[in-house]
Amino acid sequence: MWQQPTSLFTDHYELTMLQASLHSGAGHRRSVFEAFARRLPDGRRYGVVAGTGRILEGLEHFRFGAEQLEFLERNRVVDSRTLEYLEGFRFTGDIFGYAEGDLYFPGSPILIVESTFAEACVLETFILSALNHDSAIASAASRMVAAAGSRPCIEMGSRRTQEESAVAAARAAVIAGFSSTSNLESGQRYGLKTVGTAAHSFTLLHDSEREAFEAQVASMGRDTTLLVDTYDVEQGVRTAVEVAGPELGAVRLDSGDLVEQARWVRTLLDDLGNHNTRILVTSDLDEYAIAALQSAPVDAYGVGTSLVTGSGAPTASMVYKLVSRRNDAGEFVDVAKAAKNKSSVGGRKFALRRLNERGRATAELVGVGERPAGDANDRDLLHQFVDGGELLPGWTGHEGVLRAAQRHHDSVQELPGVARRLQRGEPVVPTEFVDEARQAGAAL
């Protein structure tokens, strides 16, 4: 998966903080860091946790080898004592968090890292990069899947985002319910199903559309998907049916008014006897366009740009904050920044999703300092991923993706129906902080 150390996917200041904290000695204090989002992207009803599996995969490679140390030394990023510390660096703490694919709301403690300050501090940037990107994509993808109902969504956005982001985006989309992706690297790394047939260039390469279709069918079989809008759509459909016959798998429409076009193309296909030929549409779709196409005879949606850019919310605004740490007496002290527009709640968190007797979510309960008592139906949201530096099984690789996709499917089922509305609104359930130790509750 990772073929090089992930340790320099890190902000410079994580290492200078490390140096200063080793110098003061405070770097060895046991600490609790928490990743959470203060808010959902504007108007979203819920967020989707993604990236956790990639973080755990990357953690194994979060090492400072000769090349990394030489860079840090040459550029005097840190002093020799810190270089020595980094040479032997290996995360030895505990990591807890929401299962990948589960939903989150403002204040949900999505990932909790418990270790020395030194160990948790240097992981900050890498953890946030993965969570912020992947969760943004999964959150957008989940809305598209909801809009598409039973029709499959295919991820096709690789060309619109950085090449490694494309792999992560394909993975996040599949977690959120996409059926497949065009991205081959994600197929190799995560075992995702990859699909694709041809672009306009293939038609233009040949001397006529007919020759192109003949070449494609000869090479890929009659059940392939022919792209019919390079010249004239009606003629394209007729030629496609003439070339491939009644077994033609699908036609793809990539331009024009898709709702109207899908209707008459369906009629034309049926008139030509191609009742089993499907219609795939792919032109700049987002969740709103998908919703508008639900009344049209479309069989599958290919989604590109808007998926990989988070459909208006390309990052999830998650932060990673120190919420508790030991003092010299060995006692944990809860801490939080005081700044008015960036406040957070100190203390180790615990989380339950409150479910009513019909299994519907009604609140996100976040316990401060201890697990809220909870009701019989409540679902515990925190799982342990890493124990004393050892990765626990089941959260990474192909297995992790399958498990996350199932988790996502099940968690969405728990939401009230209003969650599937695309209109802007409040988070579909409120977050309630429960601070039983202090006999106080507060709603965010």
Footprint on residues 135-194 left by a copy of itself (CB under 8 A):
156, 158-168, 182-185, 187-188, 194
By CB under 8 A, residue 230 contacts a copy of itself: yes
By CB under 8 A, residue 124 contacts a copy of itself: yes
Q: How far apart are the first and last CA of the chain?
A: 39
Please tell me what DSSP assigns to residue 222. Answer: T
By CB under 8 A, residue 14 contacts a copy of itself: yes
CA 350, 129, 324, 59 torsion: positive or negative?
A: positive
Instruction: Sort strands 318-326 and 30-37 into parallel, antiparallel or unpaired.
Output: antiparallel
Among residues 100, 119, 229, 435, the one that binds a copy of itself under rule CB under 8 A: 229
Report the nearest approach of a copy of itself to the CB of residue 353 (Å): 27
Report the nearest approach of a copy of itself to the CB of residue 356 (Å): 36
In the complex with a copy of itself, the residue whose CB is nearer, 293 or 322, is: 322
* Cα distances (angstroms) measured from residue 106 to each of 176, 191, 438: 19, 32, 22
Q: What does the block give as tokens for 185? A: 């690297």
In the complex with a copy of itself, the residue whose CB is nearer, 65 or 273, is: 65
Q: What does the block give as tokens for 19? A: 């140096």
Closest listed residue to residue 119, CA positions, set 12, 4, 17: 17
In the complex with a copy of itself, the residue whose CB is nearer, 165 or 362, is: 165
Stated as kind and residue range, the H or E segment containing 217 is: helix 209-220
Among residues 84, 87, 211, 387, the one that binds a copy of itself under rule CB under 8 A: 211
Q: What does the block give as tokens for 190? A: 């995560």
Footprint on residues 343-382 left by a copy of itself (CB under 8 A):
none
User: 209 and 242 in contact (C-beta within 8 Å)?
Assistant: no
Which residues lie across from 154 on neighbouring strands? 180, 302
The Cβ of residue 261 has, within 10 Å, a number of other Cβ atoms equal to 21
In the complex with a copy of itself, the residue whose CB is nearer, 177 or 346, is: 346
Report the nearest approach of a copy of itself to the CB of residue 167 (Å): 8
In the complex with a copy of itself, the residue whose CB is nearer, 121 or 355, is: 121
Report the nearest approach of a copy of itself to the CB of residue 19 (Å): 5
Show the binding pattern over residues 18-37: x = contacts a copy of itself (CB under 8 A), - = does not.
Answer: -xxx-xx-xx-x-x-x----
Angle at 200 between CA 199 and CA 205, to 5 degrees: 105
Stretch that binds a copy of itself, among 88-96, 211-219, 392-400, 401-409 (CB under 8 A): 211-219
Among residues 44, 143, 266, 325, the one that binds a copy of itself under rule CB under 8 A: 325
The Cα 97–Cα 344 span in angstroms is 18
The Cα 399–Cα 279 span in angstroms is 32
By CB under 8 A, residue 8 contacts a copy of itself: yes
Among residues 10, 135, 139, 277, the one that binds a copy of itself under rule CB under 8 A: 10
Report the nearest approach of a copy of itself to the CB of residue 288 (Å): 17
Stretch that binds a copy of itself, among 74-82, 86-94, 262-270, 396-404 (CB under 8 A): 74-82
In the complex with a copy of itself, the residue whose CB is nearer, 14 or 370, is: 14
Size of the site for a copy of itself (CB under 8 A): 108
Closest listed residue to residue 351, CA positions, set 429, 421, 439, 438: 429
By CB under 8 A, residue 132 contacts a copy of itself: yes
By CB under 8 A, residue 89 contacts a copy of itself: no
In the complex with a copy of itself, the residue whose CB is nearer, 50 or 366, is: 50
Please tell me what DSSP assigns to residue 295. Answer: T
By CB under 8 A, residue 100 contacts a copy of itself: no
Q: What does the block give as tokens for 167? A: 């792999």
Which residues lie across from 48 on neighbouring strands? 103
Question: Tokens 């203060």 — which residue?
Answer: 38
Among residues 125, 369, 374, 383, the one that binds a copy of itself under rule CB under 8 A: 125
By CB under 8 A, residue 337 contacts a copy of itself: yes
Residues contacting 430, CB < 8 A, separation 6+ = 105, 363, 364, 443, 444
By CB under 8 A, residue 231 contacts a copy of itself: yes
By CB under 8 A, residue 220 contacts a copy of itself: yes
Q: What 3-state class would DSSP assign to 385?
A: strand
User: 76 and 413 in contact (C-beta within 8 Å)?
Assistant: no
By CB under 8 A, residue 6 contacts a copy of itself: yes
Footprint on residues 268-307 left by a copy of itself (CB under 8 A):
305
